[in-house]
């Protein structure tokens, strides 16, 4: 498909442009590991991102995110895992 996103960042941006105001997306992760390529050194080892907790994406406003002014763009926040001890 020609309109298919080619990276996870493009996928996230595409999703956010389709969300209307007042939409909330909650994701929960339980010991998820992602191997992220190193753009500075493509032949090098990828970075490992470990996700254990939740991610909440909320939109404000009445129009789709793609037409909102920058000041009302979607808010992305990560919530700490309540079961994980604080260091």
pLDDT of 71 higher than 50: no
Phi/psi of residue 69, nearest 5 degrees: -65, 160
Q: Does residue 63 contact residue 20 with C-beta atoms inside 8 Å?
A: yes
Q: What percent of the chain is predicted at pLDDT more than 90? A: 11
38 vs 19, more confident: 38
> What is each CA distance from 22 to 26, 34, 62, in whole angstroms?
13, 29, 7
Structure tokens at 66: 């793609």
| Closest by Cα among 59, 37, 61, 39 to 47 | 37
Is the pTM higher than 0.85? no
pLDDT of 3 higher than 70: no
Calpha distance 40→63 (Å, rounded): 37
């Amino acid at each position: 498909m020609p309109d298919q996103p080619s990276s996870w960042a493009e996928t996230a941006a595409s999703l956010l442009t389709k969300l209307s105001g007042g939409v909330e997306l909650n994701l929960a992760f339980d010991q998820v590991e992602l191997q992220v390529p190193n753009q500075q050194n493509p032949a090098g080892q990828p970075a490992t991102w470990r996700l254990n907790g939740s991610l909440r994406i909320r939109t404000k406003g009445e129009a789709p995110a793609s037409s909102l002014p920058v000041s009302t763009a979607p808010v992305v926040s990560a919530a700490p895992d309540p079961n994980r001890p604080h260091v």
